[in-house]
Amino acid sequence: MSQTLDQAEESSLEEPTPPAAPITSRFLFVDVAAQRAKQLRRGALPRVDRSLTTAPAPHKLERVAMEEVRTGLIHYSLPTTYEGAGHPYKV
C-alpha cells in the first residue's frame, strides 16, 4: 500500500502543473489574490520559490499572493451561476 502511494507521489512531482491562464481583468486579479492571501494568513505555504531570485522576498502576505497569481501558480474557477437576492445571474 505504501509503495503505491510513493509511486503516485513521485509521478506527481515529475509532472509539473501547467501555469494558469493569465488574468486580464484587474477586478478578477484582486479577487483571486485576496482569496490566496486569506489562505496564506490561515497557514498555507507559499508557492513562490524565492531562493532562485536575487530580489528580496516580499514581507506582506498580500504581496506574496499577488506574485503567485501574476506568475500563474494559482488556479481558479469562475462560478457559472449566482442566485443572490432572488435574482439569477449568468456568466
Summarised one tens digit per residue, pLDDT across range 38-59 is 999 999 999 887 766 666 666 7
Q: Which residue has the cell 484582486?
A: 30
Phi, psi of 4 (to 5 degrees): -65, -40
pLDDT at 79: 77
| 8's grid cell | 503516485
CATH topology of domain 20-90: Eukaryotic RPB6 RNA polymerase subunit (3.90.940)
d(CA 7, CA 86): 49
Question: CA triplet 25, 64, 49: central angle to 5 degrees?
Answer: 115
- The arithmetic mean of pLDDT across residues 80-87, rounded, is 65
Overall pTM surpassing 0.85 (yes/no): no
Mean pLDDT over all residues of the chain?
Answer: 76
- Please give the residue that has the higher pLDDT: either 11 or 71: 71
d(CA 86, CA 12): 43
Q: Is the pLDDT of residue 15 over 70?
A: no
Residue ranges per structural domain of the chain: 20-90
